[in-house]
A and B are shown apart, each in its own frame.
Chain A
Amino acid sequence: MAVARDLPILIVDDYRTMLKIVRSLLQQLGFTNVDEATDGQSAYAMISGRDYGLVISDWNMQPMTGLDLLKRVRSEPKTAKLPFIMVTAEAKAENVVAARQAGVNNYIIKPFTQAVLKQKMSAVLGEI
């Protein structure tokens, strides 16, 4: 079954330019129900208040990193299974391992293309 295009998606990045890029790429894929947060803390507050179908988050943010956000999301029964994709410039193997151990569903290295985003979203959510 195809993924509903009205799926609520939260994108998290401290660079507004990246938020704009990801939003545009999602829009071209047909996803328009997109919210934005600029750090892990505000993202967590938003996740607590709305049932998102996917979180796409940067890692390197302050005061709460994307990894901290992921761990917090996984620690709450209500959001423990929320699909979570990390999009980051952190490209060391130990980063990927740490994110996997924390329960990330997929991991994208910046810079990336729309094709890669679509592929990883399909891997997490089902065919797009």
Chain B
Amino acid sequence: MSSAQEEAGGERSLLLAYIRAARGALAELGPNHLRVERLPSAANEIGMIVETTESAANLIMDAADQILNLPADTEIQAYRAIVEEKCLAMLEACAFQDLTGQRSTKVIETLLHIEDKLGKLAALVGDDEEPVVQPRDERAGDDVLLNGPSMPGEGVDQDEIDAMFA
């Protein structure tokens, strides 16, 4: 066997080993498991968070409305009993924070799982440098202004807005 053939054989072995490792990393990522189970489950959790918070907000608002709209001539003992009952209902409804917190934790776990597996895959294929170019925002016109609630420290507060209207 010539030295050129030996060199080619060595390179082929390296390439095969690389492909096997990449396949292993992809298998560990479990794309089908993610697609069929974890991502739909995370989407369901988020849907439940929206539903739970809406339900709790409605319950709290209804209780507050009922207190605010009690007739002015309500006898004091009856007034107290209704206020206590409605306040208790509001306190109970605030349990949504616990429920949504737990659901959020599940979603965060899924995201961390994906981040971990993608990090390993990126390292294997040599894509482990910080991206230099940010993904391009494909939106145009007024659509670029829609970004939802700001994170703490971003955006302007009501006082700054008031100053712009002064």
**A residues adjacent to B (C-beta < 8 A):** 15-17, 20-21, 24, 28, 59-60, 65, 67-68, 89-98, 100, 106-110, 112, 116, 123
Contacts and interface: CB of A to CB of B under 8 A. Distances in A.
- Majority SS at the chain A contact face: helix
A69 B57 CA distance: 27
B149 interface: yes
Residue from the set B68, B150, B165 with the largest chain A CB neighbour count within 10 Å: B165
Q: Is the interface of B mostly helix, strand, loop or mixed?
A: helix
Nearest to A111: B149
Contact of B165 (A17, A93, A107): A107
Interface residues of B, number: 23
Nearest to A110: B149
A3 to B, nearest CB: 19
Given A24-B61, A107-B165, A95 B54 contact: no
A60 B161 contact: no
Contacts of A123: 165
Contacts of B58: 17, 20
